């Protein structure tokens, strides 16, 4: 469905984005772009902000809006201490667990058990989260965060980008494949995914870059490159 929307909406001058979104009580919106495992779900589920959506959004002349109405969260080593809202939603009746080991007697999920795979997931409606918005809408973003898990310790922890740099890194879509995101990945591997969502792009990547460029020029949000990987040394240091 996301791929279909990515084909149909650009013709209506609506930007389509593989990102999460949240807003503060004043309505200031932040977007979080990134591939699997870079922190979109975790960072957007800030208890002090309202969650607009987890993974797929459009950006029209009136603001941003959510597509999927649900959350698809990684559950490996999920704990009530580290991610209380996702933990609570995952343990509610109606949540769907994928590749999660469950005790055959107590039916209690064993989130630390990676016997099946590290890529264990939970899917649930956004309404399961106490900080989720009722409308899935937000104003034009004030901040855009490009999340990249750099396994080589080269990128800084955080960097404010110019518009040209923002478009460059958006097109580049650099990150590292992490254990638990794909089968056979045991150590981080560098990868590139145009617009942080190459598998979902039915049109040339330049189409989506141009849509973003027009919105950056018009609304002038601050764009940040956030390294959620390694700094001060490569993986293993």
Looking at residue 80, what is its pLDDT?
A: 92
**Helix axis angle, 205-219 relative to 163-172, nearest 10°?**
150
Q: What's the rounded mean pLDDT across residues 223-229?
A: 96
What are the tokens at 213? 């460029």
Looking at residue 236, what is its pLDDT?
A: 84
Q: What's the rounded mean pLDDT across residues 127-134?
A: 93
Statement: residue 138 has pLDDT above 90: yes
Looking at residue 92, what is its pLDDT?
A: 93
Q: What's the rounded mean pLDDT across residues 67-89?
A: 91
Q: What is the DSSP letter of 49?
A: S
Q: Which residue has the tokens 């002038």?
A: 220
Question: Residue 205, class by beta-carbon neighbours within 10 Å (0-12 exposed, 13-18 middle, 19+ buried)?
Answer: middle
> Do 202 and 3 form a contact (C-beta atoms < 8 A)?
yes
Which of 47, 165, 180, 177 lies closest to 117, judged by CA?
A: 180
Looking at residue 37, what is its pLDDT?
A: 79
Q: What's the rounded mean pLDDT across residues 62-78?
A: 93
Query: pLDDT digits over 181-221, tens only?
Result: 555 556 778 889 999 999 999 999 999 999 999 999 999 99
Looking at residue 181, what is its pLDDT?
A: 54
């Amino acid at each position: 469905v996301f791929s279909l929307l990515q084909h149909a909406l650009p013709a209506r001058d609506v930007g389509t984005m593989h990102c999460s979104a949240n807003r503060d009580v004043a309505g200031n919106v932040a977007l979080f772009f990134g591939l699997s495992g870079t922190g979109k779900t975790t960072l957007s589920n800030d208890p002090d902000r309202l969650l607009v959506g987890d993974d797929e959004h459009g950006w029209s002349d009136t603001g941003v809006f959510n597509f999927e109405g649900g959350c698809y969260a990684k559950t490996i080593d999920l704990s009530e201490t580290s991610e209380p809202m996702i933990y609570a939603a995952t343990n509610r009746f109606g949540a769907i667990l994928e590749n999660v080991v469950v005790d055959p007697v107590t039916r209690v999920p064993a989130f630390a058990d990676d016997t099946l795979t590290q890529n264990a997931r939970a899917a649930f409606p956004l309404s399961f989260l106490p900080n989720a918005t009722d409308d899935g809408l937000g104003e034009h973003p004030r901040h855009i965060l490009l999340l990249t898990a750099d396994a080589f310790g080269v990128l800084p922890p955080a960097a404010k980008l110019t518009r040209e740099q923002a478009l460059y890194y958006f097109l580049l879509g650099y990150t590292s494949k992490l254990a638990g995101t794909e089968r056979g990945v045991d150590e981080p591997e560098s990868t590139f995914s145009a617009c942080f969502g190459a598998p979902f792009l039915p049109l040339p990547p330049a189409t989506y870059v141009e849509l973003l460029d027009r919105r950056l020029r018009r609304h002038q949000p601050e764009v940040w490159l956030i390294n959620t990987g390694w700094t001060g040394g490569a993986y293993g240091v």
